[in-house]
């Protein structure tokens, strides 16, 4: 869906809720309108993830599943879902409506998941820093091999860079003892951040707590994630559950795609409600991502980001070329290498164009989570004060 159409649809939806909440309606009319808004919110969530699922086809014009461009679409859709969720649950409501059962239990659970997502955002942002270092190694190889004729000196430089690239890609941080206490979050940089980020081979856990695990964090976020039943399934409990599910799925996807500290066991599916139609495209995406994860887990490769998988394949092939290189090389082999170097250069360009905006989106998700949690805490605090007996 084009961004302009998506924005217009969301603006129309948010505006509609705002108008309705300000209208004086009968109780029956208000209930009917709210049910319609809840259904529309569910439909929008389903449609957004259907678009993401349909873009994973073999159509070369589409963004490949787990590519940088696809992840950016995922985060755009997540932010849209989050904005509509707050409108449905909070806009124009009295605090007492949000604090009463079952939301008095479900909302704190969502707010706890938001807190856990902050560490995920930090870890993913650090993983993106590592991807930038890998990109630089690939660029060194491209510069060395994009020569005519290719000599032994260029091949040696390319092999050194590619060997470092492949080695870095298979260095999963399975030993959390390498890490140090977390010293950075978005908006703050420690004094030695710049120097530490320069090392392409350093453990990605350098700013995360020693015992922190991205897989355990995801599993903690997905615990107690149960679909509302009975009368609750048609009330405000439903959008809270939907938003919790979307949050967990998006964080799970980011950790799968981008190298993060300790992802052992991440391939286990996050429980999604098969009986609810809005979740069907999410389940389809989860199955595809889990399949990719299982393939790469056997090789110990960092993440299933599409660009990284291509770098791994090209790096291994070009190292084989370098190992058997003799000057002058065969014309046929040189033509094959030229095509691979062009593909490697194309990947580098995509990473150069996409990694920084992706990191900025992660930063936006981080700040949005903080802001949303703060807004709900204020409403719950107001409800508590109103409910307290006057003295």
Query: What digits encode the pLDDT tens for the residues 104-158?
Result: 999 999 999 999 999 999 999 999 999 999 999 999 999 999 988 888 899 999 9
Q: How far apart are CA 77 and CA 56, in angstroms?
A: 15
391 within some domain? no
> At 14, phi and psi to the nearest 5?
-65, -40
Residue 124's domain comprises: 3-383
Rg over alpha carbons for the chain, rounded to the nearest Å, is 24
Provide the pLDDT for residue 55: 81
Residue 64 and residue 347 in contact, taking contact as beta carbons nearer than 8 Å: no
Bond from prior residue into 102 cis (ω within 30 degrees of 0)? yes
390 within some domain? no
91 within some domain? yes
Residue 294 and residue 156 in contact, taking contact as beta carbons nearer than 8 Å: no
186 within some domain? yes
Provide the pLDDT for residue 188: 45
Q: Domain tally for the chain?
A: 1
Q: Which two tokens stand for residue 209?
A: 């707590």
Residues of the chain with pLDDT under 50: 1-2, 24-29, 172-185, 187-206
193 within some domain? yes
389 within some domain? no
252 within some domain? yes
Instruction: 161-166: list long-range contacts, CB under 8 Å, 24+ apart.
Output: 161/137, 162/137, 162/138, 162/315, 162/318, 162/319, 162/322, 163/319, 164/137, 164/200, 164/201, 165/134, 165/137, 165/138, 165/141, 165/311, 165/315, 166/312, 166/315, 166/316, 166/319
Q: Which two tokens stand for residue 315?
A: 């790096």
Q: How far apart are CA 13 and CA 191, in angstroms?
A: 45
**Given the structure tokens 């806009």, which residue do they identify?**
91
Q: How far apart are CA 47 and CA 330, in angstroms?
A: 52
C-alpha pair distances (Å), 36 with each of 13, 30, 232, 234: 11, 10, 16, 10
Q: How far apart are CA 368 and CA 358, in angstroms?
A: 15
Q: How far apart are CA 166 and CA 169, in angstroms?
A: 5
288 within some domain? yes
Provide the pLDDT for residue 22: 53
Under 8 Å CB-to-CB from 80, ≥6 apart: which residues?
6, 10, 44, 48
């Amino acid at each position: 869906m084009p961004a302009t159409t998506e924005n217009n649809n969301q603006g129309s939806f948010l505006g509609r809720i705002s108008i309705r909440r300000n209208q004086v309606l009968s109780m029956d009319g208000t209930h009917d309108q709210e049910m319609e808004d809840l259904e529309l919110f569910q439909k929008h969530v389903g449609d957004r993830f259907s678009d993401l699922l349909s873009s994973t086809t073999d159509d070369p014009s589409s963004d490949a599943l787990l590519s940088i461009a696809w992840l950016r679409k995922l985060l755009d859709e997540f932010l849209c879902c989050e904005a509509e969720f707050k409108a449905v649950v909070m806009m124009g409501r009295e605090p007492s409506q949000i604090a009463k059962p079952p939301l008095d239990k479900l909302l704190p659970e969502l707010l706890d998941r938001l807190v856990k997502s902050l560490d995920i955002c930090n870890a993913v942002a650090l993983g993106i820093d590592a991807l930038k270092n890998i990109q630089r190694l690939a660029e060194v190889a491209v510069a060395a091999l994009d020569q005519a004729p290719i000599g032994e000196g260029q091949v040696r430089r390319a092999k050194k860079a590619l060997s470092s690239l492949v080695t870095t890609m298979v260095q999963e941080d399975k030993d959390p003892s390498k890490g140090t206490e977390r010293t950075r979050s978005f908006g703050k940089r420690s004094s030695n951040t710049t120097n530490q980020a320069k090392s392409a081979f350093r453990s990605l856990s350098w700013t995360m707590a020693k015992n922190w695990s991205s897989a355990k964090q995801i599993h903690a976020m997905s615990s107690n994630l149960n679909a509302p039943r009975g009368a609750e399934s048609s009330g405000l409990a439903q959008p809270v559950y939907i938003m919790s599910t979307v949050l967990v799925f998006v964080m799970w996807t980011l950790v799968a795609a981008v190298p993060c500290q300790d992802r052992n066991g991440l391939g286990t599916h996050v429980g999604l409600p098969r009986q609810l139609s809005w979740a069907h495209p999410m389940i389809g995406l989860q199955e595809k991502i889990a399949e990719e994860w299982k393939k790469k887990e056997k090789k110990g490769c960092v993440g299933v980001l599409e660009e990284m998988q291509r770098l791994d394949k090209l790096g291994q092939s070009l190292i084989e070329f370098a190992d058997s290189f003799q000057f002058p090389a065969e014309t046929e082999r040189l033509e094959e290498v030229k095509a691979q170097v062009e593909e490697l250069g194309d990947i580098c360009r995509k990473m150069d164009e996409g990694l920084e905006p992706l990191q900025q989106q992660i930063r936006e998700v981080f700040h949005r989570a903080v802001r949303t949690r703060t807004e709900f805490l204020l409403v719950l605090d107001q409800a508590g004060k109103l409910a307290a007996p006057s003295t």
